[in-house]
Amino acid sequence: MIKELRSEEELIKCVDLLRAAFETVARDFALTEESAPTNAAFTTLENMKRHLEKRMTLYGMFSGASLVGCVAIKKSKGSESVFYIERLAVAPEKRHRGHGEQLLSFAFEQIRKDGGRTASIGLMDNNERLKKWYRSKGFVQHDCRDIEHLPFKVCFMSIDLGEGMVRTG
């Protein structure tokens, strides 16, 4: 089941999940809170609440009472038809079971329901494994640039949701 996360208890569970899920990436790419403070590996409840106040909607995937994954969706300020997918994460012990794909498909449907035609993501440019996964889902890279406060280049990818079905599997 996937549902919007709103309560303090749900947000705390999501922060814990994000920190655990992104910690593996932070470790693999030698990121620290000092070098990449905005990375989800270092998120806090206060930070999450600030994002939610800024037009971000957070969803959680549950298996029974356990939160196994999450995804956030945020509408672009510059375009009514563009939405950003953020904080897509699956608990490390629940990976490689299709949960990420289910969360991504859910995000696509939510974006379509809200009138969106394009989903966009940003990720570490040197995370080739993740870029390959997003490419397999139909995303295309359209930009790559340095962001002042980050120690890596950010790859921007997007997918047109208006053209039939999106690839899964």
pLDDT digits (tens, 9 = 90+) for 14-71: 999 999 999 999 999 999 999 998 899 999 999 999 989 988 999 999 999 899 999 9
Q: pTM for the whole thing?
A: 0.91
Percent with pLDDT over 70 in the chain? 96
Model confidence pLDDT, tens digit, residues 105-140: 999 999 999 999 999 999 999 999 999 999 999 999
Model confidence pLDDT, tens digit, residues 63-112: 998 999 999 999 999 888 999 999 999 999 999 999 999 999 999 999 99
Q: Is 152 among the domain residues? A: yes
User: Into how many domains does the chain fold?
Assistant: 1
Q: Is 13 among the domain residues? A: yes
Q: Is 167 among the domain residues? A: no
State which residues form the domain around 100.
2-160
- 80's CB contacts (< 8 A; 6+ apart) are 115
Rounded to whole angstroms, the Cα distance separating 60 from 69 reads 6
Tally of CB atoms within 10 A around 96: 7
Q: Is 151 among the domain residues? A: yes
Q: Is 83 among the domain residues? A: yes
Q: Tell me phi and psi for residue 108, to 5 degrees.
A: -60, -45
Q: Is 80 among the domain residues? A: yes
21 close to 90: Cβ distance less than 8 angstroms: yes
Domain containing residue 131: CATH number:
3.40.630.30
The CA–CA distances, whole Å, from 88 to 14, 81, 119 equal 11, 20, 13
Rounded to whole angstroms, the Cα distance separating 127 from 33 reads 18
157 close to 137: Cβ distance less than 8 angstroms: no
Rounded to whole angstroms, the Cα distance separating 29 from 121 reads 19
Q: Is 168 among the domain residues? A: no
Q: Is 88 among the domain residues? A: yes
Rounded to whole angstroms, the Cα distance separating 132 from 159 reads 14
Q: Is the pLDDT of residue 147 over 60?
A: yes
